[in-house]
């Protein structure tokens, strides 16, 4: 994997770059649609490629390990072949998904014992095991096994957890060196900064992660309930330390506004379930704010879903029709809303890139943040 920094914004810390892997190029800043179990929910691979057109999507080790299970993915020749997706894939390590199980897991130095959310069976994830699973899934970018601390988190726990995440990182790196690639393309490995909302811990963690000398770095443990200001403050501390010449991935973030603010702080990669999950609940993101399409106010609004027309659904269907589909709980409603939201998120990061390259990012960001902070 290579990363080429094309331009850094003179007034903010926003960057435009280009990642190249064996599955193609990724223009940054980028948003990665979430395809947890090997599908971006409700979207055909053909629509994903032709209408939404992301350079990279995300999968989850935790879910894929439980179903269809690692051996099936290996027999298929990896996740790309299994799901018929020939562009980039990144897999999260399971560190966050296991943490979300709260009552059903036990974290120890050796690893995490957890109870499956599917059948209640017990499983164990270690840094070593997770590297092997990610080799078998075969994503282009694979993530370190970490502990994502909750918010709030007391200082003592955050510090202890951060040090364990660092020790787990060393174990991931050692084990990866001994674990050969399974397919005929390379895999890049990203370590993850933790440290909760404590500046000194974030600084320490960023230094440790930078020292690992990986081809890209991630920031975890944010967007877990802390105020947005705390998130931005932590991102800023970390991006000051992480190397300039490597991509930076802020995990699980966020709203369109969060994304623009973090791009301004020097983040290059994002993923979040928000555009897809909220779409299935009838929430639409637009350049002028959010829409609850289930609201009665759209009952007789025959105007297009979004006059910007980023994806074909925006102009092919009216708000009244989409509201109707949600009212009668038709599958197509969720599909249309998902394509719309992903189209909008992709537009947002592509437009951010254009504005960075044109030197107009700061003013555009201010305008967009104000504009998107509305309920229509
Ligand atoms: N760690 C991992 N995945 C993640 C996170 C993390 O801290 C987050 C936090 N927002 C989202 N996804 N491994």
Q: Supply the Cα-derived Rg of the chain in whole angstroms.
A: 20
| Ligand 1 mutation target, pool 225, 252, 254, 271, most atoms within 8 A of CB | 252
Segment 132-150 shows an average pLDDT of 98
CB of 95 closer than 6 angstroms to any ligand 1 atom: yes
* Angle CA 304–376–53, to nearest 5: 55
Q: Do the beta carbons of residue 365 and residue 260 sit within 8 Å?
A: yes
Cα 182 to Cα 25: distance, rounded to the nearest angstrom: 22
CB of 221 closer than 6 angstroms to any ligand 1 atom: yes
CB of 92 closer than 6 angstroms to any ligand 1 atom: yes
Judged against a pLDDT cut of 80, whether residue 116 lies above it is answered with yes
Candidates 9, 55, 268, 271; catalytic one: 271
Q: What number does the ligand 1 atom closest to the CA of 144 have?
A: 13
If you measure from the C-alpha of residue 220 to the centroid of ligand 1, how many angstroms do you get, rounded to a whole number? 5
Judged against a pLDDT cut of 90, whether residue 103 lies above it is answered with no
Burial class (CB within 10 angstroms; exposed 0-12, middle 13-18, buried 19+) of 27: middle
- Which residues participate in the annotated binding site? 92-96, 146, 194, 221
Instruction: Report the percent of the chain where pLDDT is more than 90.
Output: 97
Segment 149-154 shows an average pLDDT of 96
Judged against a pLDDT cut of 90, whether residue 216 lies above it is answered with yes
Q: Whose CA is nearest to atom 11 of ligand 1?
A: 252
Task: Give residue 100's pLDDT band: very low, low, confident or very high (50, 70, 90).
Answer: confident
- Which residues participate in the annotated binding site for substrate? 92-96, 146, 194, 221
Judged against a pLDDT cut of 80, whether residue 357 lies above it is answered with yes
Q: What integer pLDDT is reported at residue 248 of this predicted model?
A: 99
pLDDT digits (tens, 9 = 90+) for 1-59: 999 999 999 999 999 999 999 999 999 999 999 999 999 999 999 999 999 999 999 99
pLDDT digits (tens, 9 = 90+) for 259-275: 999 999 999 999 999 99
CA separation, residue 205 to residues 51, 96, 184, 252, 261 (Å): 39, 17, 33, 19, 22
DSSP 339-364: HHHHHHHHHHHHHHHHHHHHT-HHHH
Task: Give residue 186's pLDDT band: very low, low, confident or very high (50, 70, 90).
Answer: very high
Q: What number does the ligand 1 atom closest to the CA of 143 have?
A: 13
Task: Give residue 175's pLDDT band: very low, low, confident or very high (50, 70, 90).
Answer: very high
pLDDT digits (tens, 9 = 90+) for 190-205: 999 999 999 999 999 9
154 catalytically annotated? no
Which structure tokens are listed for 239? 């991006």
pLDDT digits (tens, 9 = 90+) for 324-334: 999 999 999 99
Task: Give residue 102's pLDDT band: very low, low, confident or very high (50, 70, 90).
Answer: confident
Segment 239-248 shows an average pLDDT of 98
Cα 114 to Cα 112: distance, rounded to the nearest angstrom: 6
Cα 229 to Cα 194: distance, rounded to the nearest angstrom: 17
Q: What integer pLDDT is reported at residue 99 of this predicted model?
A: 84
Q: What integer pLDDT is reported at residue 98 of this predicted model?
A: 87
If you measure from the C-alpha of residue 129 to the centroid of ligand 1, how many angstroms do you get, rounded to a whole number? 18
What is the complex's ipTM, to 2 decimals? 1.00
DSSP 47-71: HIIIII--SEEEEEHHHHHHTT-HH
Q: Whose CA is nearest to atom 2 of ligand 1?
A: 96
If you measure from the C-alpha of residue 63 to the centroid of ligand 1, how many angstroms do you get, rounded to a whole number? 15
């Amino acid at each position: 994997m290579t990363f080429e920094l094309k331009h850094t914004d003179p007034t903010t810390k926003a960057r435009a770059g280009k990642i190249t892997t064996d599955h193609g190029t990724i223009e940054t800043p980028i948003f990665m649609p979430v395809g947890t179990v090997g599908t971006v929910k409700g979207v055909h691979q053909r629509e994903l490629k032709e209408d939404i057109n992301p350079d990279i999507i995300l999968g989850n080790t935790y879910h894929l390990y439980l179903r269809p299970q690692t051996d099936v993915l290996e027999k298929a020749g990896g996740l790309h072949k299994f799901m018929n997706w020939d562009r980039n894939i990144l897999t999260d390590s399971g560190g966050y998904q296991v943490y979300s199980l709260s009552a059903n897991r036990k974290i120890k130095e050796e690893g995490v014992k957890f109870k499956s959310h599917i059948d209640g069976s017990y499983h164990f994830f270690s840094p070593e095991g997770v590297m092997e699973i990610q080799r078998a899934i075969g994503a282009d970018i694979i993530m370190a096994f970490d502990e994502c601390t909750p918010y709030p988190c007391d200082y003592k726990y955050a510090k202890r957890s951060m040090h364990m995440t660092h020790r787990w990182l060393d174990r991931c790196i050692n084990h990866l060196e001994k674990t050969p690639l399974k397919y005929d393309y390379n895999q890049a490995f990203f370590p993850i900064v933790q440290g909760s909302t404590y500046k000194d811990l974030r600084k320490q963690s960023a230094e440790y992660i930078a020292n690992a000398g990986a081809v890209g770095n991630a920031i975890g443990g944010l967007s877990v309930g802390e105020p947005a200001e705390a998130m931005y403050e932590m991102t800023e501390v970390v991006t000051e330390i992480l190397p300039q010449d490597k991509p930076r991935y802020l995990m699980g973030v966020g709203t369109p506004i969060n994304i623009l603010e973090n791009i301004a702080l020097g983040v290059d990669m994002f993923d979040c379930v928000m555009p897809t999950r909220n779409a299935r609940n009838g929430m639409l993101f637009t350049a002028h704010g959010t829409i609850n399409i289930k609201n009665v106010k759209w009952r007789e609004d025959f105007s297009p879903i979004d006059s910007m027309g980023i994806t074909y659904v925006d102009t092919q269907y009216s708000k009244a029709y989409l509201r109707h589909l949600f009212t009668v709980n038709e599958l197509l409603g969720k599909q249309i809303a998902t394509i719309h939201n992903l189209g909008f998120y992709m537009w947002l990061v592509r437009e951010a890139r254009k504005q960075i390259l044109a030197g107009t990012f700061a003013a555009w960001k201010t305008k967009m943040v104000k504009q998107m902070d509305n309920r229509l």
